[in-house]
């Protein structure tokens, strides 16, 4: 890691930057300096404010407070186009490429007028790529490229504008582990060419190779800002994921049942049945990258098993497989004793699998339909007589359900989209928890975007379900929540189970280390509690 | 036998020509994401106003200009409705077809009254010196009307524009990923509008060909489904200009066979030959004849922030 | 397309406002039509009188108009059913044609005419419906298996079906009547009396047939299915969010195929009714644009069965009136086409006004 002249003023300086969206304070009091020739890492979980910060720098939004300077002059771009012209470029997480066109065509789009000279332009692309240490075939069709290659095309698109500052938003989130190294090398070279690089991410371990400085955002505030040289991994992870939710631990520690950690079925010598069994599940995506690697896990009835891991390590794929919406490339899974690997979503529901997916808008609910319709989407048959839907009964049942699960809405007939995130999540949870039979519950990132009281409510329901004998798989990147709720915690890293620890506060450091990819001694890779 | 073949080739070219002209223009529009069911209406309008212009001025070239202008007007309104007002492209297309049929029939009766089948000044057949006297190829290829040569040149031009200019690039981007194109600074609405106008110009030429160059008159509902055939050709051609032209020739050949086969004593139901283009297009979209993907944003209006 | 989805979720009051806008557009188009009539030198009052006379002046006129509306309604109803699942059926014209072919084939089969209990009427109707359903189902299967865009597939199937009619009436081996002379037209034989749809009114003056009853029954059924049935809710779910619907256990592929098959079936029924109720024999151009008009009716109805009926009545009367204007007042029938075209375009363009209304009202 190069030691740049610390006496130079920063290329980009943020001073007391704040941004408010209505009642939401997305950023507050962020002060940061980024120097030319360095790679600045910006760490933080979802919702911590990283994207907002980038959008402020790139001119998508205007700050509500504070100001920025770039290259010594005040920086307040009116739009991304202006920012691009003045020397800041951004590689977004979601590429804006046209899959059917070639790389050179994509890069010429909007940049070239008149006749296209593919050869010349292609040569320029090749040059830039070479300069920063990678190969890019200008004539390749983007749709056929791997994610990493597409990302490199986006990077070249930015570099062609000769920016002084390059911002990369979660570039490693979409990359399979094998391609991350290459990306980081590129970042290093860009920085070494005298530019500044801001690398936004929530994946920690790989960053250590390339970052000069690390800043951590949490809840819209900057909670850490240090040089990479002396940084401690675990501290950083903790700074990133630690929640200020002491009340959560207290609330969940209420003595309203058997203490967490004791499965309801007290079978001494090995359980008769498992609630959920994953056996060697592997998933490869369209480009052949491994997203899930030989995952084996067993959950007994009444157990709450936490699956910890920073997002993007295979959790989404696991969730989709268990929901019956994605076929694994290898392996099998069972709920109760029923094999459901290729059975489809309806069969999973019938076998007693409740799923609370991480992207509820895409998978769990139909936002335009009413609350009642959504809450009973998978049980409509119960309210059907002679083919007709008994709306009154449906609404009444939904009303009762809403009371039980504290879903707050004007009435069961309002559109689902009108509910707050917390109430939507409670509604989906209600639907899944009232499946009959309910054998296993898979909840992925169930508390994302929820306020504290909603979080408590969700976990209360989950623990109640576990007490009833449901086996729960809790997939989350909120380590504190997992420790408070789960019996044991397995860690998912790059699609593989890399270790398992009991869910106790003392284990936090070890679990955090496993989450960031470090090897911890004394780990047990089997699925059983110690 | 050779004579028959030569005539067959000439017929194929003649029947396929309006298809080629209309389809290549429609291809541009569809690549940009706008489906013009009104192609039939545009061609019919052009055929009528072309005939009218030619008859009124006595000059077939002015007639062709009228044809193209009238089709452009229809295309302009179609563009405004589909792109700016984000109206349902299918409904607008059907509406124009009905309107065109009614309007051209109405005006024809009013203006030409009882003078049905009035002969209008037609475009001369251009005999290319020397080449047209070749024994076989002469008859087959080189005794076509002026529009054919101009049309072919324009089709090549379209190919060049689509594949080698920034406008063509914009068209292709706008039809597949309008959001990405928008981010790259491409004016989505303007590009789509222009693409529809291109379709209009080519449809205008196609209509002019039918009334001025080919049949030298106007009859009610003259185009008789040629516009729909052109649409099918674009589909069967997989939205690729080379294959679309080939499809048009194929469809033209099928139509020519209608007359040729009986003359040769072969009995094939006419209906089957007429059906063949649509069957082929249907098989094509089912992926039977190779994987075909329409432009991703076809028929979908564009709204930023979606 | 999303407009309709949004409108379906709005409280009814705003929906009525939304429906008013198209009617204003229609009025505008009609006004232009009157101007054109005047410009063509015909007397406007005469034309209007002839129009009204032909549309609902006599019992015959009313009956004929309603019969036309029946066919249009059926196509429109089928359209909104499929549209509920976010599927656009553009193949109404072809589905009518298939319905006509099958109904003719069954109707001309000798044993049919002597069947008791009205089976002579029912069987061809059923056959036509099934034929249309099959035709629509093909597009559905193509969508599920190959991901084929149903706009394209139903459109192409439509043209193929129209040419199938042509084929059938060209060949005596198929449905063409025996050629007794060179002047024998390429048409089928007429169906027997017992196959024809019985009239509704006793009087021979009104051609109104039981197609109206069938249509009203199906309209009610469609409204019930869309608003009240679980199946309708499932169609809506599949149309709005296929992934979530499948997650909730709904059989996505089957629902899509059934939706398009239903739309096709309605079209086929319309074709059978047109054959057995008015035309009595099959010929080229049998569907005479009813498929496309029905599509327009369906789209303009904004998903409401009542809207379909209203729109269908309007277009049905428009057609009848137009024919009468030609005969009585010398106004070319082509003018009716012009007005119809203008109306369609005007309404299509007015959608954005409706959208602005919604957004402004939120």
Full DSSP string of C299-327: HHTTT-HHHHHHHHHHHHHHHHHHHHHHH
Residue at C7 is within a domain: no
Are both A225 and A254 inside the same structural domain? no
Do residue C337 and residue B294 have CB atoms under 8 angstroms apart?
Answer: no
Domain closes at, from A241, A266, A299 = A241
The per-residue pLDDT for C18 is: 63
Least confident window among A521-525, C268-272, C352-356:
A521-525
Mean pLDDT across B202-207: 94
- CB-nearest partner of C292 from B94, B272, B299: B94
CB A479 within 8 A of CB A315: no
Instruction: List chains adjacent to chain C, taking adjacency as at least 3 C-beta pairs closer than 8 Å.
Output: A, B
- CB-nearest partner of A109 from B163, B169, B179: B169
Q: Is the pLDDT of residue A512 over 60?
A: yes
Q: Is the pLDDT of residue A249 over 80?
A: no
Adjacent-strand bridge partners of A353: A440
Residue at A237 is within a domain: yes
Do residue C246 and residue A344 have CB atoms under 8 angstroms apart?
Answer: yes
Looking at chain A, which residue has its C-alpha nearest residue B179? Answer: A96
Question: Strand, helix or coil at C295?
Answer: helix
Are both A187 and A302 inside the same structural domain? no
The per-residue pLDDT for A269 is: 32
Do residue C351 and residue B298 have CB atoms under 8 angstroms apart?
Answer: no
Overall domain count for chain C: 1
pLDDT bracket for residue B160 (50, 70, 90): very high
Helices (DSSP H) in A313-434: which residue ranges? 315-322, 345-350, 371-375, 391-405, 421-433
Pairwise pLDDT comparison (A446 vs C356), residue with the higher score: A446
Do residue B166 and residue A113 have CB atoms under 8 angstroms apart?
Answer: yes
CB C51 within 8 A of CB C324: yes
Pairwise pLDDT comparison (A240 vs B221), residue with the higher score: B221
In 3D space, the residue among A142, A126, A144 whose CA is nearest the CA of residue A134 turns out to be A126
Residue C156 sits in which domain range? Answer: 41-331
Q: What is the pLDDT of residues C300-326, one digit of tens each?
A: 787 889 989 998 998 888 888 877 877
Are both A92 and A145 inside the same structural domain? yes
Pairwise pLDDT comparison (A9 vs B79), residue with the higher score: B79
- Nearest-neighbour CA in chain B from C352: distance (Å): 6
Are both A295 and A232 inside the same structural domain? no
CA A431 to CA A360: how far, in whole Å?
A: 12
Q: What is the pLDDT of residues C37-85, one digit of tens each?
A: 787 777 778 778 888 887 777 878 888 889 999 999 999 999 999 999 9
Residue at C220 is within a domain: yes
Are both A201 and A262 inside the same structural domain? no
The per-residue pLDDT for C54 is: 78
- Nearest-neighbour CA in chain A from C10: distance (Å): 10
Looking at chain A, which residue has its C-alpha nearest residue B169? Answer: A109
pLDDT bracket for residue A246 (50, 70, 90): very low
The contact set of A with C (CB < 8 A) is 323-325, 344-346, 349-350, 355, 357, 362-369, 373, 377-378, 380-381, 383-384, 387-389, 391, 415
Q: Which of A355, A380, A427 to mutate to test the interface with C (most CBs of C within 10 A)?
A: A380
The per-residue pLDDT for C16 is: 66
- CB-nearest partner of C348 from B87, B109, B285: B87
Do residue A325 and residue C240 have CB atoms under 8 angstroms apart?
Answer: no
Residue A56 sits in which domain range? Answer: 12-241
Do residue A98 and residue B166 have CB atoms under 8 angstroms apart?
Answer: no
Q: Does B105 touch chain C (CB under 8 A)?
A: yes
Mean pLDDT across B146-160: 88
ipTM of the complex: 0.83
- CB-nearest partner of A349 from C230, C243, C249: C249
Overall domain count for chain A: 2
For tokens 């979601």, name the residue: A94
Do residue A109 and residue B181 have CB atoms under 8 angstroms apart?
Answer: yes
Are both A232 and A328 inside the same structural domain? no
pTM of the model: 0.79
Residue at C18 is within a domain: no
Do residue B186 and residue A113 have CB atoms under 8 angstroms apart?
Answer: no
The per-residue pLDDT for B19 is: 93
Sheet of A471-476, strands arranged across: A353-356, A440-444, A471-476, A304-308, A488-493, A496-502
CA C97 to CA B225: how far, in whole Å?
A: 17
Q: Is the pLDDT of residue B24 over 50?
A: yes
pLDDT bracket for residue A525 (50, 70, 90): very low
Are both A346 and A466 inside the same structural domain? yes
- CB-nearest partner of C152 from B102, B272, B294: B294
Q: Is the pLDDT of residue C30 over 90?
A: no
Residue at C96 is within a domain: yes
Are both A148 and A254 inside the same structural domain? no
Residue at C168 is within a domain: yes
CA A35 to CA A198: how far, in whole Å?
A: 10
Q: What is the pLDDT of residues A85-129, one digit of tens each?
A: 889 999 987 888 998 899 999 999 988 888 888 899 999 999 998
Do residue B287 and residue C146 have CB atoms under 8 angstroms apart?
Answer: yes
Sheet of A338-339, strands arranged across: A290-299, A276-284, A330-335, A338-339
Q: Is the pLDDT of residue C355 over 70?
A: no
Pairwise pLDDT comparison (A26 vs B38), residue with the higher score: B38
Domain closes at, from A241, A267, A295 = A241
- CB-nearest partner of C230 from A324, A368, A384: A384
Are both A98 and A231 inside the same structural domain? yes
CB C253 within 8 A of CB C75: no
Within chain C, how many helices (H) and strands (E) appear?
14, 0
Q: Is the pLDDT of residue A259 over 50?
A: no
CB A89 within 8 A of CB A163: yes
Helices (DSSP H) in B32-88: which residue ranges? 39-57, 60-79
Least confident window among A98-102, A270-274, B219-223, B273-277:
A270-274
Read off the CATH number of the domain in which A140 is found. Answer: 3.40.50.300
Q: Does C312 touch chain B (CB under 8 A)?
A: no
Question: Which residues of C fall within a CB distance of 8 Å from B87?
Answer: 348-349, 351-352
CA A345 to chain centre: 23
Question: Which residues of C fall within a CB distance of 8 Å from B103?
Answer: 334, 337-338, 341
Residue at C340 is within a domain: no
Q: Are strands A488-493 and A304-308 parallel, antiparallel or unpaired?
A: parallel
Q: Is the pLDDT of residue B122 over 70?
A: no
Mark which residues 433-462 of A lie under 8 Å from B by CB. Answer: none
- Nearest-neighbour CA in chain B from C341: distance (Å): 4
pLDDT bracket for residue A530 (50, 70, 90): very low
Looking at chain C, which residue has its C-alpha nearest residue A351? Answer: C249
Pairwise pLDDT comparison (C155 vs A313), residue with the higher score: C155
Question: Which residues of C fall within a CB distance of 8 Å from B77?
Answer: 345
Are both A194 and A337 inside the same structural domain? no
Q: What is the mean pLDDT of chain C?
A: 83
Tally C-beta pairs within 8 A across A and B.
54
If one counts every other C-beta atom within 10 angstroms of the C-beta of residue C215, the result is 26
Helices (DSSP H) in chain B: which residue ranges? 2-31, 39-57, 60-79, 89-112, 137-141, 146-164, 166-176, 178-183, 188-208, 226-236, 241-263, 270-285
Q: Is the pLDDT of residue A49 over 70?
A: yes
Q: What are phi and psi of A77, to 5 degrees?
A: -65, 140
Q: Is the pLDDT of residue A280 over 70?
A: yes
Helices (DSSP H) in C204-304: which residue ranges? 211-228, 230-240, 242-247, 252-274, 290-300
Assigned token pair, A102: 């070639």
Looking at chain C, which residue has its C-alpha nearest residue A388? Answer: C229
Adjacent-strand bridge partners of A307: A475, A490
Question: Which residues of C fall within a CB distance of 8 Å from A368?
Answer: 5-6, 9, 240
Are both A251 and A336 inside the same structural domain? yes
Q: Which of C288, C333, C349 to mutate to test the interface with B (most CBs of B within 10 A)?
A: C349
Domain closes at, from A241, A259, A291 = A241
Q: Is the pLDDT of residue C198 over 70?
A: yes
For the B2-117+130-285 domain, the top CATH level (class) is mainly alpha
Pairwise pLDDT comparison (C334 vs C72), residue with the higher score: C72
Q: Does A100 touch chain B (CB under 8 A)?
A: yes
Residue at A421 is within a domain: no
Do residue A364 and residue C246 have CB atoms under 8 angstroms apart?
Answer: no
- CB-nearest partner of C88 from B77, B90, B110: B90
Mark which residues 70-109 of C lie under 8 Å from B by CB. Answer: 88, 90
In 3D space, the residue among A312, A254, A308 whose CA is nearest the CA of residue A483 turns out to be A308
Pairwise pLDDT comparison (C335 vs A395), residue with the higher score: A395
Counting residues of chain A whose pLDDT is more than 70, the rounded percentage is 85
Burial status of residue C170 (CB atoms within 10 A of its CB: 0-12, 13-18, 19 or more): middle
Angle in degrees, 0-180, between the axes of helices C59-84 and C211-228, rounded to the nearest 10: 30
**Any idea what the Cα angle at residue B7 is, between residues B1 and B12, rounded to 5°?**
125
Pairwise pLDDT comparison (C185 vs B125), residue with the higher score: C185
Q: Does B263 touch chain C (CB under 8 A)?
A: no
Q: What are phi and psi of A225, to 5 degrees?
A: -155, 95
Q: What is the pLDDT of residues A346-389, one digit of tens each?
A: 888 888 888 888 777 777 888 889 999 998 888 888 888 888 88
Q: What is the mean pLDDT of chain B?
A: 84
Residue at C13 is within a domain: no
The per-residue pLDDT for B125 is: 64
For tokens 């002379």, name the residue: C181
Question: Which residues of A fall within a CB distance of 8 Å from C231?
Answer: 387
Do residue A99 and residue B177 have CB atoms under 8 angstroms apart?
Answer: yes
Pairwise pLDDT comparison (C200 vs A503), residue with the higher score: A503
Measure CA of the first residue to CA of the last residue in chain B; give whole Å: 61
Mean pLDDT across B25-53: 92
Residue at C33 is within a domain: no
Do residue A377 and residue C245 have CB atoms under 8 angstroms apart?
Answer: yes
Residues 6+ apart with CB under 8 A from C300: B91, C22, C307, C311, C347
The per-residue pLDDT for A261 is: 38
- Nearest-neighbour CA in chain B from C153: distance (Å): 6
Residue at A263 is within a domain: yes
């Amino acid at each position: 890691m190069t030691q740049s002249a610390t006496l130079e003023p920063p290329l980009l300086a943020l001073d007391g930057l704040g941004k408010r969206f209505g009642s939401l304070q997305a950023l507050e009091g962020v002060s940061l300096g980024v120097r030319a020739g360095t790679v600045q890492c910006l760490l933080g979980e979802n919702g911590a404010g990283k994207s907002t910060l980038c959008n402020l720098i790139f001119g998508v939004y205007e700050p509500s407070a504070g100001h920025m300077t770039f290259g010594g002059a005040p920086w307040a771009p009116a739009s991304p186009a202006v920012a691009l012209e003045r020397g800041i470029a951004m590689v977004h997480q979601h590429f804006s490429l046209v899959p059917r066109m070639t790389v050179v065509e994509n890069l010429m789009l909007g940049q070239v007028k008149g006749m296209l000279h593919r050869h010349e332009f292609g040569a320029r692309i090749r040059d830039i790529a070479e300069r920063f240490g990678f190969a890019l075939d200008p004539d390749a069709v983007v749709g056929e490229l791997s994610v990493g290659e597409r990302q490199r095309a986006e990077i070249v698109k930015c570099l062609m504008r000769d920016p002084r500052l390059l911002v990369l938003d979660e570039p490693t989130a979409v990359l399979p582990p094998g391609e991350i190294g290459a990306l980081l090398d590129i970042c290093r070279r860009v920085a070494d060419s005298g530019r500044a690089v801001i690398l936004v991410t929530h994946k920690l371990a790989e960053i250590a190779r390339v970052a000069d400085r690390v800043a951590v955002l949490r809840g819209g505030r900057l909670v850490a800002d240090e040089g990479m040289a002396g940084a401690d991994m675990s501290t950083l992870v903790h700074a990133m994921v630690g929640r200020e939710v002491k009340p959560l631990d207290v609330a969940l520690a209420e003595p309203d049942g058997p203490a967490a950690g004791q499965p309801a079925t007290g079978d001494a010598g090995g359980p008769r049945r498992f609630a959920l069994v994953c056996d060697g599940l592997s998933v490869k995506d369209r480009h052949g990258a491994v997203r899930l690697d030989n995952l084996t896990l067993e959950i007994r009835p009444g157990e709450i098993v936490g699956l910890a891991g920073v997002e993007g390590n295979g959790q989404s794929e696991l969730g989709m497989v268990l929901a019956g919406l994605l076929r694994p490339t290898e392996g099998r899974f069972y709920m109760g004793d029923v094999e459901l690997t290729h059975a489809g979503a309806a069969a999973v529901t019938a076998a007693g699998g409740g799923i609370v997916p991480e992207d509820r808008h895409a998978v769990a609910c139909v936002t335009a339909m009413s609350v009642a319709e959504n809450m009973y989407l998978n049980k409509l048959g119960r309210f059907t007589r002679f083919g007709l839907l008994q709306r009154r009964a449906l609404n009444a049942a939904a009303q009762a359900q809403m009371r039980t699960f504290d879903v707050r809405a004007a009435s069961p007939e309002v559109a689902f989209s009108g509910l707050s995130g917390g109430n939507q999540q409670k509604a989906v949870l209600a639907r899944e928890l009232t499946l009959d039979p309910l054998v296993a519950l898979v909840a992925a990132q169930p508390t994302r975007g929820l306020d504290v009281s909603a979080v408590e409510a969700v976990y209360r329901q989950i623990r109640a379900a576990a007490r009833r004998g449901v086996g729960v798989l809790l997939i989350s990147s909120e380590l504190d929540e997992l420790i408070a709720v789960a019996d044991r915690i397995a860690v998912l890293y790059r699609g593989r189970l890399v270790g398992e620890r009991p869910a106790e506060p003392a284990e936090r450091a070890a679990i955090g280390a496993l989450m960031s990819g470090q090897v911890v001694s004394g780990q047990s890779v089997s699925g059983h509690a110690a | 036998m050779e004579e028959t073949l030569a005539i067959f080739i000439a017929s194929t070219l003649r029947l396929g020509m309006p298809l080629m002209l209309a389809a290549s223009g429609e291809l541009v529009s569809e690549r940009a994401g706008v489906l013009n069911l009104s192609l039939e209406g545009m061609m019919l309008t052009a055929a009528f106003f072309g005939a009218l212009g030619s008859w009124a001025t006595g000059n077939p070239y002015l007639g062709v200009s009228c044809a193209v202008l009238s089709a452009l007007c229809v295309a302009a309104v179609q563009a405004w409705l589909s792109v700016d007002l984000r109206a349902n492209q299918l409904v607008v297309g059907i509406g124009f077809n009905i309107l065109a049929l009614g309007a051209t029939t109405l005006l024809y009766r009013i203006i030409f009254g009882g003078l049905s089948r009035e002969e209008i000044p037609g475009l001369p057949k251009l005999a290319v010196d020397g080449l047209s006297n070749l024994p076989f190829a002469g008859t087959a290829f080189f005794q076509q009307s002026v529009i054919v040569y101009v049309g072919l040149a324009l089709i090549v031009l379209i190919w060049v524009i689509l594949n080698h200019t920034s406008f063509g690039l914009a068209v292709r981007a706008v039809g597949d990923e309008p959001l990405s194109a928008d981010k790259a600074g491409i004016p989505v609405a303007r590009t789509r509008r222009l693409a529809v106008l291109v379709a209009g110009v080519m449809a205008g030429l196609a209509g002019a060909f039918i009334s001025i160059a080919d049949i030298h008159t106007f009859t009610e509902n003259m185009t008789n489904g040629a516009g729909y055939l052109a649409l099918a050709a674009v589909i069967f051609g997989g939205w690729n200009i080379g294959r679309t032209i080939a499809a048009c020739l194929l469809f033209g050949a099928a139509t020519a066979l209608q007359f040729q086969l009986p003359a040769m004593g072969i009995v094939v139901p006419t209906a089957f030959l007429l059906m063949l283009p649509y069957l082929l297009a249907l098989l094509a979209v089912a992926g039977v004849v190779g994987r075909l993907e329409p432009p991703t944003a076809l028929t979908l209006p564009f709204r930023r922030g979606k | 397309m999303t407009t309709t989805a949004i409108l379906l979720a709005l409280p009814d009051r705003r929906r009525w406002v939304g429906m008013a806008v198209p009617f204003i557009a229609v009025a505008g188009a009609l006004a232009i039509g009157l101007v054109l009539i005047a410009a063509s030198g015909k007397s406007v009052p005469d034309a209007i009188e002839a129009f009204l006379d032909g549309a609902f002046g006599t019992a015959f006129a009313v009956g004929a108009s309603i019969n036309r509306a029946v066919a249009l309604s059926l196509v429109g109803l089928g359209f909104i059913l499929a549209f509920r699942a976010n599927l656009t059926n553009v193949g109404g014209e072809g589905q009518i044609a298939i319905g006509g072919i099958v109904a003719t084939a069954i109707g001309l089969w000798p044993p049919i005419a002597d069947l008791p209990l009205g089976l002579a009427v029912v069987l061809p109707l059923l056959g036509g419906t099934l034929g249309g359903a099959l035709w629509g189902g093909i597009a559905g299967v193509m969508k599920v298996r190959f991901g084929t865009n149903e706009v394209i597939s139903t459109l192409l199937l439509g043209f193929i079906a129209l040419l199938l009619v042509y084929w059938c009436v060209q060949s005596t081996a198929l449905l063409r009547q025996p050629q007794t002379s060179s002047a024998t037209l390429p048409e089928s034989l007429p169906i027997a009396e017992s196959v024809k749809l019985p009239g509704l009114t006793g009087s021979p003056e009104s051609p109104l047939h039981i197609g109206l009853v069938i249509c009203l029954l199906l309209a009610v059924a469609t409204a019930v299915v869309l608003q009240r049935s679980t199946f309708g809710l499932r169609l809506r779910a599949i149309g709005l969010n296929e992934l979530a619907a499948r997650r909730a256990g709904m059989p996505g592929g089957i629902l899509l195929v059934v939706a398009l098959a239903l739309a096709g079936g309605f079209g086929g029924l319309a074709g059978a009714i047109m054959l057995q109720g008015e035309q009595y024999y099959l010929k080229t151009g049998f569907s005479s644009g009813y498929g496309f008009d029905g599509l327009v009716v369906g789209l303009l109805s904004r998903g409401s069965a009542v809207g379909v009926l209203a729109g269908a009545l309007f277009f049905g009367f428009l057609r009848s009136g137009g024919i009468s204007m030609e005969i009585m007042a010398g106004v070319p029938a082509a003018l009716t086409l012009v007005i119809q075209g203008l109306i369609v375009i005007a309404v299509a363009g007015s959608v954005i006004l409706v959208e602005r209304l919604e957004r402004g009202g939120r």
